Amino acid sequence: MSSEHAPVLVYGATGFTGRHCVAALERMGQPYWVGGRNADALQAVAGPGCVGVRVAEASNPRAAFEGVGCVISTVGPFARHGLPVLDAAIAAGVPYVDTTAEQSFLTMARTRDAAAVAAGVTALPACGVEYLPMFLGAALLGDGPVETWLWLDDFLPTRGSVRSMVAMAGVGPAPRPREVRSGDRSGWAIGIPGAESVLVHPDCHTHLMLGRWEALAFRLGWPIARWFDGDRLGDRIADRLADPTAEQSARARFTVIVSRGDAAVRLDGEDVYASTGRFAATTALALARGEARVAGVRAAGEALEPQRLLAAIGLEAKRCPAPV
């Protein structure tokens, strides 16, 4: 890859996902900035490819964004911390990528679409494992609504992921699990608030694939979450957990299937968190190189050429049976 562009900035670089973004840029041999609140902690995660530290609070980080090629935001829970980072990137005229999986934040981010278009800024939320393959698969199938299906095998959530998941729990009616199969993949589908219905088409549907007993527990726990403050409950649960080890993270695998009618594509990968770091870093580099086809708050498959980005992130989309 060429490095003939301003270095990207990993904002939130000291967090679990932020460190994986830094590691991805190091492996690619790409120069980068690290950004966040604590200068000492940022220095500790900076590798040989780091060109400097940008210190700023997430509530007002614009000064830290001047002169960077693209901002990668990993400051979850995004519904709580993410919007000022997006606003600052647009105000600074800097392309933006993040790793959110929170539909509530995506809805907030879409309200900035007109401002991003006016500023000529391309902002691509949800570029982690949960949604980037889905966006690219949807783009390969053409315009219109899709259904997406996500399997996460041997997956352990980070503390940040737990905060985000608990904050989303209880939104809308309790999901009804149903058993589905596509080729060698099967499981119980739980409808979840997804990114596709915000950034691809309002009639998209997103499904998390679980085992039978996991799906039942998910359904029973959904209405219970309505009785609690999601942010406070998420913090209390996350404070009692530890982030996955490198070995645990490396064991995690994922399968994504995107379908429209009888047409479907499947994408498989491994090491969920390292993949998220690679996906976000690769997408940010594409924006820094000026490859965006459109400005605004958009899905990655709309703003970037999907086959080219798939090749860059190391995934192959294969035709498969639609889940039934």
Give domain status of residue 322, yes or no. no
The pLDDT value given to residue 211: 87
Give domain status of residue 228, yes or no. yes
pLDDT band at 1 (very low <50, low <70, confident <90, very high): very low
| In a shared domain, residues 140 and 259 | yes
The pLDDT value given to residue 303: 98
Sequence-ordered list of residues with C-beta below 8 angstroms from that of 198, at least 6 positions apart, any chain: 103, 106, 107, 110
CA-based nearest residue to 112, from 128, 129, 130, 124: 124
Given a cut of 80, is residue 180 above it in pLDDT? yes
The pLDDT value given to residue 228: 60
Sequence-ordered list of residues with C-beta below 8 angstroms from that of 313, at least 6 positions apart, any chain: 132, 275, 278, 279, 282, 283
Per-residue pLDDT, averaged over 46-58, amounts to 95
23-37, 125-139, 216-230: which range is least confident on average? 216-230
Per the document, the length of the chain is 324
The domain in which residue 164 lies consists of 132-272
| In a shared domain, residues 161 and 59 | no
CATH code, 74? 3.40.50.720
Number of domains in the chain: 2
| In a shared domain, residues 153 and 268 | yes
Other Cβ atoms within 10 Å of 142 Cβ, number: 9
CA-based nearest residue to 272, from 135, 146, 99: 99
State how far the Cα of 36 lies from the Cα of 9, in Å rounded to an integer.
10
The pLDDT value given to residue 166: 61
State how far the Cα of 164 lies from the Cα of 15, in Å rounded to an integer.
14
What does the pLDDT look like over 214-257, one tens digit per residue? 777 777 766 666 566 555 655 665 566 667 787 878 888 999 99
| In a shared domain, residues 200 and 141 | yes
DSSP letter string over 295-312?
A: -EE--HHHHS-HHHHHHH
Per-residue pLDDT, averaged over 269-285, amounts to 96
Decide if 200 contacts 145 (C-beta within 8 A).
yes
Tell me the percentage of the chain whose pLDDT exceeds 90.
73
Using CA atoms, how far residue 257 sits from 122, 148, 155, 205, 273, in Å, is: 26, 6, 18, 12, 19
| In a shared domain, residues 60 and 92 | yes
CATH code, 191? 3.30.360
